C-alpha cells in the first residue's frame, strides 16, 4: 500500500506498526522449518519479482529479507512509525477525519487503511493448568530459540499447517516427541526443491520466464479452488491422498489416526511431504486422546495418562482477524460490536458506517488455495481509486451504502454455504460462530480481481468536504 501510494503521488501518509521491524507474519513466525506453502514466484509482489528465490517454497528468513529489501528499495521505510500500536481509532464526522490513538501518540487522517493481518495474534489453548508447566512453553509464532531441544522430551499441541512444518525439524533433534492431535488434516504433496543456478541466471536474464513460472503456479492453484468451491467435488482426492498416506506410513494404526473423516479441502490443506513420515519415526508418539489438563511435568489426556515433558510447544493457531477492535465508526460503535459473530465487508474492504476506512485482506478474502498477496494487491489498487474519487470531489468521504454492504454479505453467505469449507463436515478457523465463514472468498481469484478492478462511486455515499447531511439522509 505504502509503495503504491508513493508511486501514484499520494505521498502524504504514515504507516503505523506496533512492532519494531517490518514483516508481519514473516517476522513473527520463526519456527524451524518455517516456509511459505504457496510457491514463491506466486507468493511475491507482482511489481517486485525476485529471480533469486532459493526454493520453490522459500524459507521464512528469505521472505522476511525480501519484504524489508522491497520496502527499502521503494523508499517507504522512513514512513513507518515503529512501536505505534493502534489502541483506538474514531471517525470524527464533523471534521471528516479519523482520530487515531497509538501507543506513541495521536494521528489524524482523512483515510484509514488497515493491513493488520487475519492471523497475527497467537492464541494459547484454554487448557487448565497451562500456566503451571515448569519447563519452557511457547507458541509456534513466538518461538523461543534459546532453548536447546536436543535430547529433550517435547510435546506439541496442534497439527495444523504450522505444526506440520516444524514437527519434522523438531523430531530430528528430540529425545522423544509427543504430538497431541485433536483432528487430523489432509496433506497434499509439496515437492519442494532448490531452484538451480541456471534457473536463477535465466530468470535474471529473461524476466518473462519468471512471469511464466508465476502464471503456471497461478493456474495450478486456481485449479485447486475448483475442488473446494462446491462441496463434494474434491471427494475423489481423498482416495488418492489415502494411497499416498499408505506409502508414507506403514503402521495401520497410525494411518487410521491420520486419516480425516471430513472432505478434503474443508480445513486448510497441509502442504507437506515430511509431516506424516516424521510422525512415523520411532521417537514420536501421536496422541489422539483429548488434552484435559497440564501439570508442571507434562500433559494429561482424557484417559488419565500423564505424558511427561521437558518442553511444550503450542501450535494452536491464531485469533481470527483482530482487525476491528479499536475502531469506532460514524455512530461511535466499535466495529467488533457492529459485526457481532459474523464479520463482513463490501469486497472485503469497506463497511457501512465506517467512512474512509478500508481493509487490506479483510473479511472473506482469505483463500484456501493461493497467494494472499493477489488479494491484497487488488485491494491496494481499489483503495487508491477510492481515495482519488474522494479527493476529486474536493475531499470529504466515501462510505459504502448500507444496502450494497448488506447485499454483498448475503451473496457471500449463500455462495459459501455450497463450499467444502462450510459443508465439508469439519471445524476450522475458516468458520465463525454462526457456522458460516467470515474468512474465505468463495470464488476464483480472477473473479475477485475483476470485481475490484474499478471503484464505483455509485456503491458509496460520497460526501464533499463540509457536506454533513448526505449520510444522515442516506
Q: Which residues bind ligand NAP (CB under 6 A)?
A: 35-37, 119, 125, 127, 140, 157-163, 165, 180, 182-183, 268, 291, 315-318, 427, 429
Cβ of residue 109: shortest distance to ligand NAP, in angstroms?
A: 30
Nearer to ligand NAP by C-beta: 40 or 397? 40
Buried/exposed 433-457: b ≥16 CB within 10 Å, e otherwise: eeebbbbbbbbbbeebeeebeebee
Cβ of residue 25: shortest distance to ligand NAP, in angstroms?
A: 8
Nearer to ligand NAP by C-beta: 37 or 222? 37
Nearer to ligand NAP by C-beta: 130 or 202? 130
- Nearest C-alpha neighbor of 351 from the set 368, 336, 373: 336
CA dist 105 and 100 (Å) reads: 9
Cβ of residue 350: shortest distance to ligand NAP, in angstroms?
A: 24
Check: CB of residue 345 under 8 Å from CB of residue 351.
yes
Q: Which residue has the cell 481469484?
A: 445
Cβ of residue 71: shortest distance to ligand NAP, in angstroms?
A: 20
Buried/exposed 212-244: b ≥16 CB within 10 Å, e otherwise: ebbeebbeebeebbebbbebebbeebbeebeee
Sign of the Cα torsion 236, 241, 242, 243 reads positive
Task: Name the strand (E) or helix (H) holding 240.
Answer: helix 235-248
Cβ of residue 304: shortest distance to ligand NAP, in angstroms?
A: 17
Cβ of residue 265: shortest distance to ligand NAP, in angstroms?
A: 12
Cβ of residue 266: shortest distance to ligand NAP, in angstroms?
A: 10
CA dist 25 and 296 (Å) reads: 31
Nearer to ligand NAP by C-beta: 158 or 436? 158
Distances in Å between the alpha carbon of 349 and those of 19, 47, 355, 380?
24, 22, 11, 10
Alpha carbon 312 to its chain's center: 24
Nearer to ligand NAP by C-beta: 399 or 432? 432
Nearer to ligand NAP by C-beta: 287 or 350? 287
Nearer to ligand NAP by C-beta: 101 or 259? 259
Amino acid at each position: 500500500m505504502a509503495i503504491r501510494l508513493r508511486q501514484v503521488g499520494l505521498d502524504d501518509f504514515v504507516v503505523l506498526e506496533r512492532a519494531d521491524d517490518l514483516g508481519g507474519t514473516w517476522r513473527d513466525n520463526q519456527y524451524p522449518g518455517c516456509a511459505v506453502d504457496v510457491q514463491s514466484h506466486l507468493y511475491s509482489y507482482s511489481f517486485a519479482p525476485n529471480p533469486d528465490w532459493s526454493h520453490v517454497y522459500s524459507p521464512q528468513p528469505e521472505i522476511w529479507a525480501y519484504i524489508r529489501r522491497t520496502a527499502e528499495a521503494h523508499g517507504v521505510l522512513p514512513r513507518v512509525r515503529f512501536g505505534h500500536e493502534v489502541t483506538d481509532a474514531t471517525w470524527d464526522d464533523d471534521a471528516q477525519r479519523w482520530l487515531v490513538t497509538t501507543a506513541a501518540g495521536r494521528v489524524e487522517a482523512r483515510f484509514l487503511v488497515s493491513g493488520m493481518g487475519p492471523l497475527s495474534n497467537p492464541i494459547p489453548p484454554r487448557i487448565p493448568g497451562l500456566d503451571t508447566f515448569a519447563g519452557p512453553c511457547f507458541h509456534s509464532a513466538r518461538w523461543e530459540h534459546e532453548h536447546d531441544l536436543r535430547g529433550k522430551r517435547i510435546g506439541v499441541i496442534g497439527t495444523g499447517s504450522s505444526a506440520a512444518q516444524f514437527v519434522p525439524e523438531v523430531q530430528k533433534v528430540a529425545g522423544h516427541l509427543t504430538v497431541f492431535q485433536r483432528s487430523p488434516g489432509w496433506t497434499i504433496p509439496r515437492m519442494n526443491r532448490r531452484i538451480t543456478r541456471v534457473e536463477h541466471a535465466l530468470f535474471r536474464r529473461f524476466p518473462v520466464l519468471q512471469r511464466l513460472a508465476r502464471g503456471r503456479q497461478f493456474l495450478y492453484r486456481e485449479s485447486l479452488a475448483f475442488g473446494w468451491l462446491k462441496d463434494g467435488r474434491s471427494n475423489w482426492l481423498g482416495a488418492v491422498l489415502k494411497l499416498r498416506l499408505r506409502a508414507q506410513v506403514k503402521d495401520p494404526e497410525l494411518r487410521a489416526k491420520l486419516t480425516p473423516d471430513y472432505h478434503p479441502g474443508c480445513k486448510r490443506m497441509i502442504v507437506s511431504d515430511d509431516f506424516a513420515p516424521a510422525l512415523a519415526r520411532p521417537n514420536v508418539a501421536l496422541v489422539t486422546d483429548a488434552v484435559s489438563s497440564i501439570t508442571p511435568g507434562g500433559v494429561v489426556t482424557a484417559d488419565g495418562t500423564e505424558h511427561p515433558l521437558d518442553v511444550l510447544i503450542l501450535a494452536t493457531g491464531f485469533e481470527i482477524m483482530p482487525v476491528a477492535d479499536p475502531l469506532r465508526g460514524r455512530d461511535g460503535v466499535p466495529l467488533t460490536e457492529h459485526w457481532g459473530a459474523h464479520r463482513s465487508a463490501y469486497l472485503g474492504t469497506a463497511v457501512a458506517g465506517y467512512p474512509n476506512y478500508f481493509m487490506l485482506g479483510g473479511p472473506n478474502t482469505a483463500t484456501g488455495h493461493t497467494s494472499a498477496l493477489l488479494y491484497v494487491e487488488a485491494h491496494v489498487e481499489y483503495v487508491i481509486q477510492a481515495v482519488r474519487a474522494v479527493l476529486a470531489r474536493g475531499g470529504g468521504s466515501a462510505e459504502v451504502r448500507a444496502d450494497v454492504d448488506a447485499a454483498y454479505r448475503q451473496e457471500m453467505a449463500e455462495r459459501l454455504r455450497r463450499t467444502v469449507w462450510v459443508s465439508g463436515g469439519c471445524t476450522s478457523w475458516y468458520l465463525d460462530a454462526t457456522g458460516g465463514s467470515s474468512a474465505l472468498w468463495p470464488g476464483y481469484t480472477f473473479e475477485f480481481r475483476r470485481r475490484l478492478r474499478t471503484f464505483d462511486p455509485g456503491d458509496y455515499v460520497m460526501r464533499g468536504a463540509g457536506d454533513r447531511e448526505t449520510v444522515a439522509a442516506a
